[in-house]
Structure 1
Amino acid sequence: MATIDRKYIVVGGGVAGGYAAREFVKLGLQPGELTIFSKEAAAPYERPALSKAYMFPEAAARLPGFHVCVGSGGERQLPDWYAEKGIELKLESEIVKADLENKTLTTDKGDVYSYGTLVIATGSTFLNLADFKTAGADAKGIYYLREVHEADKLVDAIKANKGGEAVVVGGGYIGLELAACLTINKIKVTMVFPDPCFMPRLFTPELASFYEGYYENKGVNIIKGTSVTAFEKDDNGHVSKVILKDGRTLDSTLVVVGVGAKPLLGPFKGLLEEEKGGIKVDASFKTSDPNVYAVGDIATFPMKMYGDTRRVEHVDHARKSAMQAVQAIKAAEKGEVVDEYDYLPFFYSRSFDLSWQFYGDNVGETVHWGREAGTPDSKFGAYWVKDNRVMGAFLEGGSPDENKLIAKVAREQPSVNSTQDLVSAGLGFASKV
């Protein structure tokens, strides 16, 4: 079979793939130069919508409404957009073999493509309880969420279980957001997770206490400090019970699991230098192979702000790293270089009437400011202070302008004389930076 030649190939049709396409076009892509491979059936879309508005009982988000790049205020790239720009978008197509020495890729259909420059943007996927050999994890009625076809299945299950009960396994982003969506859909939710509180990698006990109380007031039952050890099935192979490590048993025919993610290195595993579970890249996202770049969830990159290397699973980084890589690729063609990637860590979530944002690094002493628990309509937040400098900032209920203020604090890392000053000043401290 003849090899199909392309100047650029992007493997992965998620957020990073879509933003890479936009950047190529912006910087002068010619028709026929770029092919994007995606194992999904839909053109690149803004994945965060799936655990938020996609599950709403009314005015739910649906494609084509959230194709990239609407998540950052850009043009919506419908499937026709790629054809109009001369980009070959190969949907439901996976790369199963990579020959980096000869610069070729083989698809699951048997097609062989050659490339000049390759961008790997395969992202990550959910951890399946079957990975942990949890008994009964193959039962019907257990749902995971990463792609739109999985969201459609969960939507159907929600409609079929109105007024019923569900178990959400996990107390992180996906668990919290989907527990809220299920509750809004009038489903009684029990959350189960082994950690001592919601989102312990970011939330302090004080922050977690507020969110846990808020969820409980919405009717969510929270079981902390234990894990799921098995599922029981009925005669049709459908989940009927959830067995916990502490001996408790929960009756449920609907289970949603969100216990973390893992990078999808696929056929590139072992072909490139790796670090911290991902593909090691430089500040332009170039890998150990000069013709190959890796972006988004799979990339372990230099974190300039903190002088270390990190792998970040977040949509904001997926967008920005893809743009950085394409800018570096196009600059190198002209014998130029781009500024090194200087990323400010950013995380956010929305559920019920809540909306928080966090910027920076949650290291050092935590300083909480704002209202006492129980008044969810007022703003509150926290600063993280190390060596008398503010390293991170968290804000619940902030306006767009207020969120920009805490981002500026995390970026500039201002010095503080007294943590008590932060308590009394609250958001006012950020406004003076």
Structure 2
Amino acid sequence: MTAHGRLLIVGAGQAGVQTASSARDLGWRGPITLLGAEPHSPYARPPLSKAFLNGKATADSLALRTPEFYADHRIDLVRDEHVHSLDLAGDGTGSAVAASGRRWAFDRLVLATGAAPRRLPLEGADLDGVVVLRDLNDASVLAGRLHTADSLVVVGGGFVGLEVAAAAAAAGIRTTVLEIASSLMNRVVSPVTAEIVEKAHRACGIRVMTGVRPARFVDGAQGSVAAVELDNGIRLPASLVLIGVGASPRDALAAAAGLRCDNGIVVDDQSRASDGHTLAVGDCANLPDPSPTPGPAPRLRLESVDNAVEQARAAATTLMGSPQPYRSVPCFWSDQGSLKLQIAGLARPDDDIVVRAGKRPGQHTALRYRGTHLVSAECVNSPIDFLSVRRAIAAGTSLSREAAADTQVPLKKHLSAPVTTGRG
């Protein structure tokens, strides 16, 4: 198979679009078809929980590329087609069949099927007013309901839930956030950063309840939600409920085709699935940790724009027959009202923490160490620190904990002694 073949990309989100774009830029000469299940042109998802809700972004402004881009790059964008089966041959060729009956033959296949919002198997979960947020249609429904809601309960204290809570509180809606864990964002930030974020939300009038579990959603009248009842019996009024408890990879299509799946489509560091030919990128992929940090690379899924773009670029080199293993410093960000959280690198719960208080109220940087190695940073309203640490981790720059704790010297100046690190 050469770059003259037919390339089919199933999934028209950030990862799918980037794969198509990068493959063409690297010299793929054959037809490229990009299949999207939504009726919309490919769009950016992060603003859905922020700018789109407060009216600062529209469906048109979220477009990832212009219509002219697809035409100029000879990318056939097909919308509103849901692929329900794959016929894969041993050499990676085959065909994809949509629910409509349309069929696309391919010489090379990339799966960029993304993830779906998790639901809660609770009484009342299907009531009107209990919503999720993943795509543009979800965001449109949520935005409309926020105009009439007087009380919002957000189930889940992760990025999406807190971003929506901040937007709702700013609009004057009585807002409560429920988190089953003992702290917000417990899977992604340290307790000290979580505490700062929680204080900022409380200061904006948001009620935050941690260590609590919803038991059921209460029907008010005519099938609409009126309250959330907790397992301790407390009942919270709610004319609107957002379920924000994470997402599950859309890997059923791959599994049915015989590809190995385990919390996503299992791929190697060149984005190749278990058949050695099909590629998987973005939120649906279970991949080796791409971080340039010492030690073995555990398998994980990364749900971020940064990963979607960077993994797709690396995957395009695999398509071209000159694979470059995917190596990158994973990055995440979340805008929650006036609070901007940026994370560089991946920390583990047992990593040590060195805290650098900012010079201005609301600033904070938590550096995470694994042994003597700087592996991550959690930066609140500190974009310069974020950029400095991201570059330092990528370059293998050394920074002692003692130096890191010295806030009299800017972090950017501290990070000036490059050393070589690698997986051992």
TM-score (normalizing by structure 2): 0.89
Distance 1:40 1:427 in 2: 50
- The residue that corresponds to 1:117 in the other structure is 108
Amino acid at match of 1:38: G
Q: What runs of 5+ residues in structure 2 fail to find an aligned partner?
A: 416-424
- The residue that corresponds to 2:69 in the other structure is 81
Measure how far apart 1:82 and its partner are: 2.0
> Is the 8 Å Cα contact of residues 165 and 252 (structure 1) preserved in structure 2?
yes
Matched, 1:241 2:227: yes
> Is the 8 Å Cα contact of residues 16 and 281 (structure 2) preserved in structure 1?
no
1:357 to 322, 327, 342: 342
Distance 1:429 1:167 in 2: 39
> Is the 8 Å Cα contact of residues 346 and 376 (structure 2) preserved in structure 1?
yes
- The residue that corresponds to 2:391 in the other structure is 408
> Is the 8 Å Cα contact of residues 233 and 241 (structure 1) preserved in structure 2?
yes
Relative distance call for 1:138 and 1:23 in structure 2 (3 A) is same
1:108 to 87, 93, 99: 99
- The residue that corresponds to 2:45 in the other structure is 47
Superposed, which structure 2 residues align to 1:277-296 within 5 Å? 277-296=263-282
Measure how far apart 1:84 and its partner are: 4.1
- SS of residue matched to 1:391: strand
Distance 1:420 1:175 in 2: 36
1:266 to 228, 245, 252: 252
Distance 2:319 2:408 in 1: 43
> Which stretch shows the higher mean deviation, 303-312 or 196-205?
303-312
- The residue that corresponds to 2:196 in the other structure is 210
1:366 to 353, 366, 372: 353
2:307 to 295, 317, 329: 317
Distance 2:86 2:39 in 1: 22
Q: Alpha-carbon deviations, 1:368-419, whole Å to 9, x = none?
A: 11159xx634x321111122221112222124x44321112332444454x3
Matched, 1:67 2:57: no
- SS of residue matched to 1:361: coil
> Which stretch shows the higher mean deviation, 262-271 or 33-42?
262-271
1:381 to 360, 365, 375: 365
Q: Alpha-carbon deviations, 1:318-338, whole Å to 9, x = none?
A: 1111121122212x1xxxx23
Distance 1:196 1:89 in 2: 45
Distance 1:426 1:109 in 2: 63
> Is the 8 Å Cα contact of residues 215 and 229 (structure 2) preserved in structure 1?
yes
Amino acid at match of 1:365: D
- SS of residue matched to 2:39: coil
> Is the 8 Å Cα contact of residues 152 and 240 (structure 2) preserved in structure 1?
yes
- The residue that corresponds to 1:71 in the other structure is none
> Which stretch shows the higher mean deviation, 97-106 or 174-183?
97-106
Q: Alpha-carbon deviations, 1:190-213, whole Å to 9, x = none?
A: 111111111011222221111111
Measure how far apart 1:293 and its partner are: 0.5
Superposed, which structure 2 residues align to 1:218-237 within 5 Å? 218-237=204-223
> Is the 8 Å Cα contact of residues 346 and 375 (structure 2) preserved in structure 1?
yes
Distance 2:54 2:5 in 1: 41
- Give me the CA root mean square deviation: 2.1
Q: Percent identity?
A: 27
- The residue that corresponds to 1:196 in the other structure is 182
> Is the 8 Å Cα contact of residues 117 and 246 (structure 2) preserved in structure 1?
yes
Q: What runs of 5+ residues in structure 1 fail to find an aligned partner?
A: 69-76
Distance 1:290 1:414 in 2: 35
Matched, 1:126 2:117: yes
Q: Alpha-carbon deviations, 1:171-219, whole Å to 9, x = none?
A: 0011110100111111110111111111011222221111111111100
Measure how far apart 1:25 and its partner are: 2.9
Distance 2:125 2:409 in 1: 46
- The residue that corresponds to 1:74 in the other structure is none
- The residue that corresponds to 1:91 in the other structure is 79
- SS of residue matched to 1:219: coil
Distance 1:383 1:99 in 2: 48
Amino acid at match of 1:148: L
Distance 2:77 2:276 in 1: 24
> Is the 8 Å Cα contact of residues 370 and 426 (structure 1) preserved in structure 2?
no
Measure how far apart 1:249 and its partner are: 0.3
Amino acid at match of 1:36: L
Matched, 1:425 2:407: yes
- SS of residue matched to 1:55: coil
Amino acid at match of 1:322: A
Amino acid at match of 1:66: L
> Which stretch shows the higher mean deviation, 95-104 or 180-189?
95-104
Distance 1:42 1:6 in 2: 27
- The residue that corresponds to 1:345 in the other structure is 330
Distance 2:413 2:229 in 1: 50
Distance 1:346 1:426 in 2: 26
Distance 1:80 1:349 in 2: 31
Amino acid at match of 1:290: G
> Is the 8 Å Cα contact of residues 192 and 227 (structure 1) preserved in structure 2?
yes
Amino acid at match of 2:145: A
> Which stretch shows the higher mean deviation, 293-302 or 305-314?
305-314
